[in-house]
């Protein structure tokens, strides 16, 4: 048993999840390997749920919803408060488990759990702010108002790169809105999901919430399809690739359900002549190599003015040369492993295609750079910078790996055209001290993304703002602002407190 496996099992025990491998029913097919990208070792094997199992989980969640929807929202908030307190108590353990299973460096694993805590805090406050409107009516002796009611069972499908935060964005809001949640995590990060489920069960026990309000189902495509197709699930929130989203959306639409999609990104930073280059370099490096380039908000394109391109590229190359690569459990590491062999191969293939398109590899690109006794089975790469002659097909694609393409512009209009000339529309940024450029970038004629930042990179969103994007990113919004409305249904009420019955629009019917 590897050190990573031992640590993972110890953490699961402390989080209340026990040993999930011992809990697999006798005779069940253990077809789901749980592995760590740190060393490639298998931690254990779990069994997939069947389509019937998914239906049973949805049924249990629906029964819980029928009780939960009648509980006053501020009381529902107490459940989420308890969950937030448990996350505070177990932050170090859950953060380490995220690092073990997703390959994030420890700081990012802890940051992801802090994000869960933050959304719980926001949701608890929101539980007293689920307000509608009072609307002026043309009819005397009448009152018109708008109310928001619980929606039902929310299906959550999450990706490996944010194995716990994305669930919490959906679940914390759904719970205070009066909904139940059935979660299908990525097959690459099942243990973190089981740990969160154990914490949610304990929070429900402490708060007196209904049993089965939160459910986890494990498996591959068939399990996701069963969840997506179930008519008892009025909302499916799916995070993943654009390809996945384009399959989920029509299936949900076919039964007139709702989809909340958070899909791919191909995020850029425009670096203007006036930019503070010290600030730009720091922002670019974190956004491009954080989580080994495996964030949906990772920086993939730098669009730099021709007058400062050489200086910026030189600075970036020097910064890249200092990046510690290795086990994410080592507190000095800044770049951990890619999640699996497929990502490893995609990294090399994309660089080869970029070079075939005339690109110049400025730095990085080496593979297996961190092989050691602790990491020998993991897929480690050296983050790459590629100077491109133009925005070719490979640049327009999202490669989930630390590759940064450098493009050059001469006019601000050209920079905006390059920026928007990709199918994805998640996050974006500009580094400039010119207020006109900054304001134009965040205006209707600037960035076409759901997130547009000035003098920070595209990565690292806070939970107070609604998160999501446009175009092939899917159009969904999660987390803060008014994202809670996606988890509720709206009812418009007209109350007649008079003795007359006037009709709207002056219609007479006698």
397-432 CB burial, b ≥16 within 10 A, e <16? bbbbbbbbbbbbbeebeebbebbbebebbbbbbbbb
164-175 CB burial, b ≥16 within 10 A, e <16? bbbbbbbbbbbb
Q: Residue 44 phi/psi, 5° resolution?
A: 170, 180
Mean pLDDT of 64-84: 98
User: Is 258 in a helix, a strand, or coil?
Assistant: strand
The answer on pLDDT for 69 being more than 80 is: yes
Looking at the structure, do residues 90 and 215 belong to the same domain, yes or no? yes
Mean pLDDT of 221-243: 97
The closest of 429, 469, 463 to 449, measured between CA atoms, is 469
pLDDT tens, position by position, 107-121:
999 999 999 999 999
Look up the CATH number of the domain holding residue 321: 3.40.309.10
pLDDT score of 372: 60
Looking at the structure, do residues 181 and 221 belong to the same domain, yes or no? yes
Count other C-beta atoms under 10 Å from residue 177's C-beta: 26
pLDDT band with cut points at 50, 70 and 90 for residue 367:
confident
Distance CA 367, CA 381 (A): 4
Residue 326 lies in a domain: yes
pLDDT score of 498: 97
Q: CA dist 12 to 112, 196, 271, 419, Å?
A: 17, 10, 44, 44
Q: In which residue are the tokens 């089975």 written?
A: 377
pLDDT score of 377: 85
pLDDT band with cut points at 50, 70 and 90 for residue 217:
very high
Q: Residue 47 phi/psi, 5° resolution?
A: -110, 140
Looking at the structure, do residues 229 and 343 belong to the same domain, yes or no? no
pLDDT band with cut points at 50, 70 and 90 for residue 368:
confident
pLDDT tens, position by position, 335-356:
999 999 999 999 999 999 999 9
Look up the CATH number of the domain holding residue 25: 3.40.605.10
Q: In which residue are the tokens 């009152």 written?
A: 143
Q: How many domains does the chain have?
A: 2
With pLDDT > 70 as the criterion, what percentage of the chain qualifies?
99
pLDDT band with cut points at 50, 70 and 90 for residue 373:
low
- Domain span at 430: 267-462
Looking at the structure, do residues 217 and 332 belong to the same domain, yes or no? no
Looking at the structure, do residues 283 and 432 belong to the same domain, yes or no? yes
Q: In which residue are the tokens 């759901």 written?
A: 450
Residue 387's DSSP bridge partners are: 360, 406
Mean pLDDT of the chain: 97
The answer on pLDDT for 315 being more than 80 is: yes
The closest of 171, 49, 158 to 122, measured between CA atoms, is 171
Residues 407, 409, 414, 415: what is their CA dihedral angle, to the nearest 10 degrees? 60
Q: Residue 330 phi/psi, 5° resolution?
A: -80, 120
Mean pLDDT of 400-410: 98
Q: Which two tokens stand for residue 25?
A: 């029913």
Looking at the structure, do residues 292 and 347 belong to the same domain, yes or no? yes
Mean pLDDT of 244-271: 98
Looking at the structure, do residues 379 and 487 belong to the same domain, yes or no? no
Distance CA 293, CA 287 (A): 8
Residue 173 lies in a domain: yes
Q: Which two tokens stand for residue 458?
A: 């595209």
The closest of 234, 220, 151 to 190, measured between CA atoms, is 220
pLDDT score of 352: 98
Distance CA 262, CA 315 (A): 33
Q: Which two tokens stand for residue 284?
A: 């670019």
The answer on pLDDT for 375 being more than 80 is: no
| Set 262, 398, 437, 478: catalytic member | 262
Residue 337 lies in a domain: yes
Looking at the structure, do residues 215 and 230 belong to the same domain, yes or no? yes
The closest of 427, 502, 73, 430 to 264, measured between CA atoms, is 427
The answer on pLDDT for 1 being more than 90 is: no
Residue 177 lies in a domain: yes
Residue 258 lies in a domain: yes
pLDDT band with cut points at 50, 70 and 90 for residue 461:
confident
CA end-to-end span of the chain: 84
pTM of the model: 0.96
Cα 469–Cα 106–Cα 266 angle in degrees, nearest 5: 25
Mean pLDDT of 128-152: 97
- Catalytic status, residue 89: no
Residue 242 lies in a domain: yes
Q: Which two tokens stand for residue 67?
A: 């009780």
Looking at the structure, do residues 323 and 450 belong to the same domain, yes or no? yes
Residue 294 lies in a domain: yes
Looking at the structure, do residues 311 and 385 belong to the same domain, yes or no? yes
């Amino acid at each position: 048993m590897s050190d990573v496996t031992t640590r993972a099992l110890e953490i699961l025990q402390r989080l209340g999840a026990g040993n999930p491998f011992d809990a697999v029913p006798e005779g069940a097919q253990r077809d789901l390997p749980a592995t760590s990208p740190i060393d490639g070792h298998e931690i254990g094997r779990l069994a997939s749920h069947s389509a019937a199992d998914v239906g049973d989980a949805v049924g249990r969640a629906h029964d819980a919803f029928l009780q939960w929807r009648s509980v006053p929202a501020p009381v529902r908030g107490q459940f989420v408060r308890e969950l937030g307190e448990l996350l505070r108590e177990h932050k170090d353990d859950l953060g380490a488990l995220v690092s073990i299973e997703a390959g994030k460096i420890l700081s990012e694993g802890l940051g992801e759990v802090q994000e869960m805590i933050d959304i719980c805090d926001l949701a608890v406050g929101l539980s007293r702010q689920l307000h509608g409107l009072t609307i002026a009516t043309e009819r005397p002796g009448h009152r018109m108002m708008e109310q928001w009611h619980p929606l039902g069972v929310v299906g959550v499908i999450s990706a490996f790169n944010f194995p716990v935060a994305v669930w919490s964005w959906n679940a914390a809001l759904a719970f205070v809105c009066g909904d139940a949640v059935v979660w299908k995590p990525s097959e690459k990060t099942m243990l973190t999901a089981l740990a969160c489920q154990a914490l949610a069960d304990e929070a429900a026990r402490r708060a007196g919430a209904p049993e089965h309000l939160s459910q986890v189902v494990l498996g591959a495509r068939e399990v996701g399809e069963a969840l997506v197709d179930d008519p008892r699930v009025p909302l499916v929130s799916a995070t993943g690739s654009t390809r996945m989203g384009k399959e989920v959306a029509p299936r949900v639409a076919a039964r007139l359900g709702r989809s909340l999609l958070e899909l791919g990104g191909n995020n850029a930073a425009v670096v203007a002549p006036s930019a503070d280059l010290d600030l730009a370099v720091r922002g670019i490096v974190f956004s491009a190599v954080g989580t080994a380039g495996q964030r949906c908000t990772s920086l993939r394109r730098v669009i730099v003015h021709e007058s400062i391109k050489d200086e910026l590229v030189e600075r970036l190359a020097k910064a890249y040369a200092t990046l510690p690569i290795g086990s994410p459990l080592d507190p000095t590491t800044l770049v951990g492993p890619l999640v699996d062999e497929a990502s490893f191969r995609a990294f090399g293939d994309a660089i080869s295609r970029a070079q075939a398109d005339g690109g110049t590899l400025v730095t990085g690109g080496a593979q297996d750079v961190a092989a050691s006794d602790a990491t020998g089975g993991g897929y480690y790469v050296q983050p790459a910078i590629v100077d491109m002659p133009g925005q070719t097909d490979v640049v327009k694609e999202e490669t989930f790996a630390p590759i940064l393409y450098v493009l050059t512009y001469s006019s601000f209009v050209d920079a905006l055209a390059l920026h928007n000339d990709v199918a994805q529309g998640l996050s974006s940024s500009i580094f400039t001290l010119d207020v006109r450029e900054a304001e134009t970038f965040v205006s209707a004629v600037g960035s076409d993304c759901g997130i547009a930042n000035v003098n920070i990179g595209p990565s690292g969103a806070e939970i107070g703002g609604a998160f999501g994007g446009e175009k092939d990113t899917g159009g969904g919004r999660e987390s803060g602002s008014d994202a809670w409305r996606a988890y509720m249904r709206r009812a418009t009420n007209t109350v007649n407190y008079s003795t007359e019955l006037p009709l709207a629009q002056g219609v007479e019917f006698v």
